[in-house]
Amino acid sequence: MLRWVRRTAAITLAAAVVACGHGDAVTSTGGDGAASPGSVAGPPPPGPPQTFGAEIAGIRPGADGQSLVASVDGLPVEGAEGACAVELGRNLDFEADRIYLTVTYVTHYPDGDPAFGGCETSTRDITVDLGGPLAGRHVLTQIPAGRWIPGADSQPYGRCEPPVCDPATGVAPLPVTCDDSTLADAARSRDVPRHAGLGNSHCELPWAVIDIDVGAGACPATGDGPNPCAGTNIRRTYWRADGYTWRQVGSSTGSGCGDIATIVPDFPRHLCEDMPPLP
């Protein structure tokens, strides 16, 4: 599986070397720290190499149908050496229907300054050979995090973004209902223990309430008899439908609706007032 790289030291990747020209003339300092008018200071001396993740601004298919061209904004342009020089590289991984891509750059600029001091910057392209046909596969990136969908007739890839496109699936999301699994999926996607259980629930669009057995996650699943941690710590959670997803709007313990009325005055109390007390 691909190991994403962002602002962490790493092994230099094979890449095309690009660099930039110096910035405008600046005033340098002498050995005693005093300014020496009229002299020109170049970039700082090169520091140790550091590898960072670059933010991908665009993706398009290569002319051969077996490569991708990723565009990255704000990297030094070609032309100079020293602290302005960077190396471009990439991390690549595959699944049947998707490509995982990270573009990296190696810089000697002290402290990995993302602005590259006085270096001139520009958009840079890096061609990524896939070793086989694109075959309509989606591209997943970490910087920015998301999914890219192939365009029609060799056009550039487009970002898959809600509400038009669901990044988790790559297709247009369906509106949530009370009768499908979207509420349970939303509850399980929250920051709850892995083996947390779902209990009593009531739903009446656009509102829902569901009890989450947080305590059940305190014991590992063994398959031998009932979970001894189940039923010891339950949270009553409250939700509102937001187009294609459910958003949690509050939680409580105790009986009935807890204090949800003070948090979300519009929440319909008849969905929760008859629910049993929580342990």
pTM higher than 0.95 for the full model? no
Amino acid 84: pLDDT? 83
**22-70 confidence digits (pLDDT tens):** 333 322 233 344 433 443 455 566 678 889 899 999 999 999 999 999 9
E strand segments, 64-222: 67-76, 86-95, 98-107, 121-129, 138-142, 145-149, 158-160, 197-204, 207-213
3-state secondary structure of 182: helix
Query: Worst-scoring range by mean pLDDT, 31-40, 143-152, 156-165?
Result: 31-40
Return the amino acid letter for 111: D
Burial class (CB in 10 A: 0-12, 13-18, 19+), 261: middle
- For residue 195, pLDDT beyond 80: no
Question: Hey, CA dihedral for 214, 217, 218, 222, is it positive or negative?
Answer: positive
CA gyration radius, the chain: 27
Do the Cβ atoms of 214 and 192 come closer than 8 Å? Answer: yes
Q: How far is CA 29 from CA 39, 46, 107, 179, 263, in A?
A: 9, 18, 25, 72, 60
Whether 104 contacts 89, CB under 8 Å: yes
CA distance 65 to 40: 48
Q: How much of the chain, in percent, has pLDDT values that exceed 90?
A: 37
Domain positions in the chain = 17-160, 182-271
- Check whether 16 has a pLDDT greater than 50: no
